[in-house]
Amino acid sequence: MKATALPRAPFLIMSGTANHALAEEVAKHLEVSLCAVTHRRFADGELFVKVDENVRGRDVFIIQPTNPPAENILELLLMMDAAKRASAARITAVIPYFGYARQDRKDQPRVAISAKLMANLVSLEADRVLAIDFHQHQLQGFFDLPVDHLYAAPVFVNYYRQKTFKDLVVVASDVGAAKMARGFAKRLDASLAIIDKRRTAANEAEAVNVVGDVEGRDCLIPDDMIDTGGTMTEAVYALKRLGAEKIYIGATHALLSGPAAQRLSEAPVEEVAVTNTIEIPPERRFDKLKVLSIAPLLAKAIGYTHSDLSVSSLFD
């Protein structure tokens, strides 16, 4: 007797506690409800995770950025383990922001390569990873499983195309950001400049020189993240000293640690646009901050992944 092929079971979207609002928005775009999951703590603070729905044979997508505290990545691992033990057919770790990615090589004696360690942990439980704007693109190779690396650039480009700029220059905050800046310049029909930056210490940088003409022109500084805001504010002041007009900042991941909000709010910048890959608490928000949603992009990527379609077609 010939076996009858069963239709593929619908996918499930789960959320950790790190950015539940983003997961809800993604689920809304996909016209599904979030899978019920219990998150609680024991008296000593230890995490407890339980999946409250049947996931047997289902395609499960778990949305959880791994920004600090470190419990966020632990919660992701526990959720994946619970889904695997409940016989999920495939588990995709949807990591809007992959934390611990800056330590991606041994550049000093006796230091940990945290990016590889975290990738190893995720690879133990997941079947594939879907992430946005790794700090370094080579991190895709750190995972021993398929990785779909998404870019927030289309979200920013669509937003900035609605603005009117005066002879726009896209400015790379350092040499490492030149490739990203060149991509923005091409899509926004702008010219390119690069800041020669000297890093004096961790989270501290000094703009030494600007390669390119910015006098009397609007400037856009794109980057993958804003942590303490030191690099960005230093770049803004350097551009202003050289006669730049309006200055805009665009960064995918808004860590906004320590004095970042105060630095950026006091800097001569028109607007700081970020995405909601990381949940931004009220105390880190300021008037110049504009939060763009990457939920539609994530929803499309999840739908394409579930249907075995090409995710790279999102960027064609």
The domains found in the chain, sorted by start residue, are: 12-151+296-310 (3.40.50.2020), 154-293 (3.40.50.2020)
Nearest to 64 by CA among 113, 126, 117, 140: 126
pTM over 0.85: yes
Phi, psi of 65 (to 5 degrees): -70, 155
- 213/311 Cα distance (integer angstroms): 37
Tens digits of per-residue pLDDT, 180-203? 999 999 999 999 999 986 655 555
Query: Hey, what are 236's tokens?
Result: 């803004």
Residue 205, pLDDT score = 55
Residue 199, pLDDT score = 58
Residue 255, pLDDT score = 96
Quote the radius of gyration of the chain (alpha carbons, Å): 21
Tens digits of per-residue pLDDT, 297-315? 999 999 999 999 998 877 7
> Which residues in the chain belong to E strands, given as ranges?
12-15, 37-41, 47-51, 59-63, 90-95, 128-132, 147-150, 169-172, 191-201, 204-211, 219-226, 247-254, 271-275, 289-292
Q: What is the DSSP string of 224-239?
A: EEESSSHHHHHHHHHH
Residues with catalytic roles: 197
Residue 8, pLDDT score = 59
- 306/283 Cα distance (integer angstroms): 37
Go through the chain and tell me how many residues it has.
316
Residue 175, pLDDT score = 82
Residue 316, pLDDT score = 61
Residue 176, pLDDT score = 81
β-pair type (191-201, 204-211): antiparallel
CA angle at residue 15 from 9 to 19, to 5 degrees?
150
Nearest to 242 by CA among 205, 217, 267: 217
Nearest to 68 by CA among 177, 225, 222, 200: 225
The residue ranges of the chain whose pLDDT is under 70 are 1-9, 197-208, 316
C-alpha distances (whole Å) from 51 to each of 35, 85, 200, 261 are: 8, 10, 47, 37
Residue 200, pLDDT score = 56
Report whether 139 contacts 276 (CB < 8 A): no
